[in-house]
Amino acid sequence: MKFSTRSTDWHQAAAVRDLYEVRRAARRTPGKADPPRFVEMAARYVREAAGHLAGSTQEDRERMLGPAGPLTRYFGARRLDEVTRASLLEWWHLEVEGRGRSERTGLTYLSALSAVFGYAVDLELLAGNPVDALRGTLRRRRRSKQGRAEAEVERIHPLETPEELRAFTSGSRAAYLGRLRNGRALRQRQAGHVADLLQLDAGLRLGEAAGLRWRDVVWGDGPSDTRRCLVVREAIARGKHAGAPKSGRTRKVALSRRLQVLLREFYIASGRPGAGERVLAGFHQRNYQARHFEDVRHTPKDLRDAFASQLLTAGVQLGYISAQLGHADVATTARHYARWEGGDAYRRPVDLEPGEIPADVLDRIEGAEQERSELYGRG
């Protein structure tokens, strides 16, 4: 009996197709179905895996990954395995660069995407996280000289010259004194000047300044006692999410003389509140950010950046500044403020007068000795 070669080939091909369908069906057994769509996985992540996040971060994730959020609008209908490095790179070009968003905003979006895909990997719904590949592409971009320069310019805008520092602190102080004479009705506005110096002279984040209590102010035995400090143990993110500082650790921050004088003055004007009350009681961060800075080119973060950059320029050790800022490590501080370190050139450390701490140098840098005497007093 003769067999047709063509018939044998056809039967072999059919057998291969049947085997492929069997294996495909096996992959679709319960627990091995096709990955869910992004909108489904985003909702599941927010519901099941975002509860441990800080309040402000959780709020951001809910906004970005909600049904009307920018990430869900773009990726919502796609299955998770359809989102690749190429499609993420296309999203970056269209939705971040194409819409003029900052790289920092783009990276915030990317963290939310990574969390969703990472949770899918944890649940064994996906083999790998495609965001990792895009992050590698973005890191390679930043290695170029231009990329590093653009990233640095985007993040850091401190008050750099003595004239800028003097104009800002003088204007802030003058407004504070005018409001102080109007009584307690304008306490919220008076708090703006206190918030300014808590960031400029102590390097606090705005949320840390809002979370400070009077018991956290260690006055010392006078203006020459270098043990005077602030204990940073709480922060209020966006005016409503109270918790630990960003680092998660309590730290002590040296208290400058002019900030010490201002806090005593504000303490008395506030009616000598109890130790457990907040220094900036009733402080509205958004109003402060929107109105207090409406006539200047700077933002609250620029004051913290000025604290770090000015002390580095004055020769204060990087490790000391890093600890004052509450950074996770010195490398973080160096990455943000490298251009003020002075490179390989030797920089003589600042000479401190008896009873001074490094933060007192900021007052000196402004070059307004007479004005300082009139505004904040001496001794």
Structure confidence at residue 1 (pLDDT): 45
Tokens standing for 57? 């971060």
Residues 33/39, Cβ–Cβ less than 8 Å = no
- What strands, in cross-sheet order, belong to the sheet with 251-254? 217-218, 229-232, 251-254
Output the CA–CA distances (angstroms, integers) from residue 184 to 190, 264, 282, in the order listed.
Answer: 9, 16, 12
Residues 122 and 171 in one domain: no
pLDDT in tens, 158-193: 888 888 888 888 888 887 776 555 544 455 567 889
pLDDT in tens, 132-167: 999 988 888 776 645 554 554 456 888 888 888 888
Domain boundary residue, one of 155, 179, 206: 155
| Bridge partner list, 236 | 242
Average pLDDT, the chain: 82
pLDDT of 55 above 90: no
Residues 127 and 166 in one domain: no
Domain boundary residue, one of 116, 134, 155: 155
Span 196-225, average pLDDT: 94
Residues 180 and 115 in one domain: no
Structure confidence at residue 119 (pLDDT): 95
- Asked whether residue 13 is assigned to any structural domain, the reply reads no
| Bridge partner list, 213 | 278
Residues 351 and 209 in one domain: yes
Tokens standing for 192? 């703006």
Residues 136 and 166 in one domain: no
Check: pTM over 0.85? Answer yes or no: no
Q: How far apart are CA 47 and CA 38, in angstroms?
A: 14
Return the percentage of the chain with pLDDT > 90, whole number. 48
Q: How many domains does the chain have?
A: 2
- Asked whether residue 28 is assigned to any structural domain, the reply reads no
- Tell me if residue 214 falls in helix, strand or coil: helix
Residues 144 and 172 in one domain: no
- Tell me if residue 19 falls in helix, strand or coil: helix
Q: Determine the structural domain holding residue 86 and report its residue range.
A: 38-155
Tokens standing for 331? 């490398």
- Asked whether residue 306 is assigned to any structural domain, the reply reads yes
H helices of 181-317, in order, are 187-200, 206-211, 257-269, 285-287, 300-313
Span 298-322, average pLDDT: 91
Span 25-49, average pLDDT: 79
- Asked whether residue 31 is assigned to any structural domain, the reply reads no
Tokens standing for 191? 């708090």
Residues 125 and 244 in one domain: no
CATH number where 252 lies: 1.10.443.10
Largest CA distance in the chain: 117
- Asked whether residue 7 is assigned to any structural domain, the reply reads no
pLDDT of 18 above 70: no
Residues 166 and 146 in one domain: no
Q: How far apart are CA 316 and CA 299, in angstroms?
A: 24
- Asked whether residue 67 is assigned to any structural domain, the reply reads yes
Residues 138 and 176 in one domain: no
- Asked whether residue 10 is assigned to any structural domain, the reply reads no
Domain boundary residue, one of 155, 173, 203: 155
Structure confidence at residue 239 (pLDDT): 75
- Asked whether residue 23 is assigned to any structural domain, the reply reads no
Span 69-92, average pLDDT: 94
